[in-house]
Structures are given as structure tokens and as C-alpha cells.
Structure 1
Amino acid sequence: MLVVEQLSKVFGDLTAVDGVSLAIPKGQMVGVIGRSGAGKSTLLRMINRLTDPTRGSIDNEGQDVTALKGHDLRLWRASCAMIFQQFNLIDRMDVLTNVMVGRIAHTGFARSMLRSFTDQDRVRAIQALDRLDLVPQALQRAGTLSGGQQQRVAIAKALVQNPSIMLADEPIASLDPANAVRVMEALRSINRTDGLTVLVNLHTLDTARSYCDRIVAMKDGRVHFDGAPRALTTEKVRAIYGTDDLSDEINEAVTSTSLQTGSCRPQRQAVGT
């Protein structure tokens, strides 16, 4: 179990995350929603230890994550893989090498930069690409792929880290609806097949309801809802996000989705990024 206890992050006069406590059982898929500035990204970055918390603790299966340093911290970041909205790939490098770079915590920085990978690293990378239907693009430059393909390469890169937890920060925010579905299906498949704990920040409520076992809604750095998707009623959403603003966002999301696809999952209740 991953346990976050009274976790806070302060940037000057701004409290980005304010006393968040969560207990996440192994293998659960959790959608974190909230408007822009709600603290979602900061929360995930603290769990991965890309950002150090100001207060509070993170414990994973009895390990004090907040106390980790050096090599132990690098291994934690590998076991708690992070997927970003911007893909974080090297455009001029081929897809296969981009994925193998995900082994950096195990191979070391120098070997990764020199592209001195073992046969086992290559096998892992090919297997990960195969799961994401990307083997035909293995020797193609990453920068030539579509956004949806690049995000699936990023997922493959995370998989070769051999993680037990996968964090995804707005992984579909810049994708069209069809590619968004493919990425979310991939994350859910990894969650179900591998038993990985998945925390994913999302800007649409319908996506969270469709794919996640549990929804955590944040506002002003705090958790305002934590429970099953069916328990997050329209009334609760309006109470958290505000009736007028939410109505505007619902109408805008329905119109945008209908124009783009006409048939893809309608994203009726958008709740900000």
C-alpha cells in the first residue's frame, strides 16, 4: 500500500498541496481530477520525489520514501515511473533507444548516454513496444511520430523501468479523442494485467469514471472527494467546482468532442486541468 500522510508543498506564499492524506492499495487505478492549479501535478511529483514535500510523509510498503537519497532515490523513481503530458522523448533518437533509456536507473547514466545497452535491455524494450503496438516504429525517429504514438512510446519507456507504481500527469491532455482512448486503454491494460498501481491526473470527469476504480478530486491543494466513481454525483461535482463555471465547461467539452469525432466517448463533464 502507498500511504501519503498530511503531505504539503509550499512555494513562497503559495500552498500548492495542503495536508493531503491518501492510502492507495496495491493494484488500484486512481483518477485525480481538479481544475488547473488544484495541486494534482505537484502531488504526483512529490510521490515520485521529483519535488520534495514541505511537510508530511510518503510510505510505500513500509519504506519511508521521503527519506530516500542517492542510489535508493533513483531506484524509487524507477519503481514509481512517471509519464508526462509532454512525452519527454528525445526527438532525434529512434524509438527503441528512447525506450531503452528508461533503464537508466539500472544501467547508469554514462552507459545510457553512450547507448551501451545489453541484449536483455533490447528485449525488454521490444516487448514493451509490442504491448503498445509500436514494434513497426522501433527504428523510426521519435520526433516523426504522432502525439498519440509518442505518448505510447513514453508508456513503453516507463514499463522497462519494471515499476510497481505508474504515475501519469495529464497523459491525454494534448491528444485527440481517438488517441486519448488508446492511451487510457493502454494504462488500464497495464493496471489489470501487471497489477500495477496507477495514479493518473485527468481533466475530464467522464474519462476518470470510465477507466478508474477510484476518483480523488482536488481543489485549492486539498482533497474534496475520495471515493468510487459512482459516488461522485453531479451535485457533488457542482459543489466542488461551482455551478456556473462547470456548466460552461460541460457545454464546451460536448461541442468540441462532437465536432471532432461525433462518436468517441463524450466527455460531458470537464473539470479543468
Structure 2
Amino acid sequence: MFKLRNVTRRFGKKTAVDSVTLDIPQGQMVGVIGRSGAGKSTLLRMINRLQQPTSGSIHFAGVEVSGLRGQALRNWQRDCAMIFQQYNLVPRLDVLTNVLLGRLNHRSTVMSLLGLFTREERIHAIAALERLGIEQTALQMAGTLSGGQQQRVAIARALMQNPKMVLADEPIASLDPLNAKIVMDALRDINEREGITVITNLHTLDTARNYCERIVGMAAGRVVFDGKPSELTADAVKQIYGTDRDGAGIDETMTSTSINIPAAAAAKQSAGLQPLALAGL
């Protein structure tokens, strides 16, 4: 069980995350949604300990993650793999080497400095690339790949860590609908095949509904919704995203990754579901 207890993060007078308490069982796929500035990215960065909570505590398997230091902290960051919106690859290194960098926290400092990787590690890296359908790019410089390909390389690198949890911070925000589907399919496959907990921040409501068994909605740093996709009603969406000047909620097609938005809207109408009124996010 992964637990957050009254986790808060302040930046000066601004509270980015405000007293968040959650219990997440092993093997769940959780989508965190909310407007920009709602605290989603800060929450994930605290879980990975890239940022320190101002107050509260984070626990995993009986260990207080928020209190770890030194090698114990590095071990946690190895076990809790992070996938970023901007990929965080080394553009001038080839794809295979970028993937192998996921092994750094498993190796001695000397071997890491010398860039010495074993045959088994290289086989493992190629297998990760094959799993994501980009093994043909192994010897290309990472900077020459498309955004969708780079994100898949980042996922392969995360797999090399043999993580117990995967955190994905807006992993499809910069991708077209087709590549967004490929990336989300890969995250779901990791979740289902390995039973690894996946927590991902998302802007798109259809993606959260389609891929996540649990959705956490944040507004102004607080959790204002926590439930199943079927429970994410129009009223719940308004609570998460707010309304426009006229009090209308958002049109969900505005946050969709669907390749065919009109068809999706038509399907809703044929089912008797009226889209929410237009409003900007």
C-alpha cells in the first residue's frame, strides 16, 4: 500500500499542494486530473522526492519515503521511476545508451563513470525497445527522434530501473492523438503485465476515463474528487475545472485526444448525453 498523509508543499506564501491524503493499493492505475496549476506535477515530484514536502508524510510498504536520505533515497528514486513531459533524454547519445542509463542506480559508481554496461543489460535494453516497437532506433541519436518516439524511449529507460511504481507527469501533453494512444497503451501494458502501480497526470478526460481505473481530481492544491471513471459526472468535472464567467462547465471534447472528435461527440448525443457548455480551461 502506498500512502500520503496530509502532504503539503508551499512555495513562499503560495500553497501548491494542500493537505493531500490518499491510499493507493499496489497495482492500481491512477489518473490525476485538474487545471494547470492545480498541484498535479508538484504532487508527483514529492512522491519521487524531487521536491520535499513542507509537511505531511509519504509511505510505501511500511517505509516513510518522505524521511529517506542518502543511498536509501537514491534506492527509492530507482524503485519509483519518473517519466517526464519533456522526455529528459540526452539528445547527443544514442537511443540504446539513453535506455541503459536507467541502470545507473543499480551499478557501482566506477562502472557508471566508465559507461560500462554488461551484455545482459544491453539485451534487456533492446528487449525494452522491442516491447515499445522502436528497436530499429537503437543506434540513432535520441535528438533525431519524433516526440512520440522519444517518450517511448523514456518509458523503456524507466523499465530498465525495474521499478515498483511508475510516475508519469503529463506524458502525452506534447503528442498527437496517435502517439498519445501508443504511449498510454504502453503504460497500461506495464501496469497490467507487471502489476506495477502507475500514477499519471493527464489533461484529457477521455484518456483518464479510458485508461485509469481510478481518477483523482485536484483543484487549488486539494483533492476534490477521488473515484471510478463512471463516477466522474458533469458536476464532478465542474468541481475540478470550475466554470466560465457564465457559470457553464467545460465541453469535454475540448480536452479530448480522440482522432475523430465529431464522431465522439455524435456518439454521446446518440446515447442521450449532452456535451457540457463551451468554456476555456
TM-score, length-scaled by structure 1: 0.92
Q: In the alignment, which residue of structure 1 is the partner of 2:168?
A: 168
Q: Partners of 1:137 and 1:223 in 2: how far apart?
A: 41
Shift of 1:192: 0.2
Query: How far has the Cα of 1:239 moved from its partner?
Result: 3.0
Q: Contact 2:216 / 2:226 at 8 angstroms: preserved in 1?
A: yes
In the TM superposition, what is the alpha-carbon distance from 1:265 to its structure 2 partner? 9.0
Corresponding residue SS for 1:139: coil
The CA RMSD measured in Å over matched residues stands at: 2.4
Work out whether residues 4 and 23 of structure 2, in 8 Å CA contact, stay in contact via their aligned partners in 1: yes
What secondary structure is seen at the aligned counterpart in 2 of 1:7? strand
- Contact persistence 1:35–1:272 (CA under 8 A): no
Aligned match of 1:48: 48
Q: CA deviation at 1:242?
A: 2.2
Structure 2 residue matching 1:216: 3-state secondary structure:
strand
* Mapped partners of 1:210, 1:271: distance in 2: 23
Q: 2:57 corresponds to which residue?
A: 57
1:66-100 Cα deviation digits (max 9, x unpaired): 11111111110010000000000011110000000
Q: Percent identity?
A: 58
Distance 1:136 1:104 in 2: 23
Q: For 1:1-273, what aligned pairs fall within 5 Å after superposition? A: 1-244=1-244, 247=249, 250=252, 252-253=254-255, 261-262=259-260
Task: Report the residue type matching 2:34 in the other structure.
Answer: G
Contact 1:203 1:272 in 2 (8 A): no
> What is the letter of the counterpart of residue 186 of structure 1?
A
Alpha-carbon separation, structure 1, partners of 2:141 and 2:262: 29
Q: Which amino acid aligns with 1:235?
A: D
Relative to 1, partners in 2 of residues 1:204 and 1:253: Cα closer, same or farther, differing over 3 Å?
A: closer
Task: Normalising by structure 2, report the TM-score.
Answer: 0.89
Q: Distance in 2 between matches of 1:73 and 1:228?
A: 32
- Unpaired segments of 5 or more residues in structure 1? none
- The change in CA–CA distance for 1:96 and 1:39 in structure 2 (over 3 A counts) is same
Is residue 30–residue 215 contact of structure 1 (8 Å, CA) maintained in 2? yes
**The residue matched to 1:46 in structure 2 has which SS?**
helix
Cα distance 1:253–1:28, how it changes in 2: closer, same or farther (>3 A)?
closer
Whichever of the two has the greater Rg, that structure is 2
Contact 1:94/1:139 (CA < 8 Å) preserved in 2? yes
Instruction: Using the TM superposition, name which of 233-242 and 68-77 deviates more.
Output: 233-242
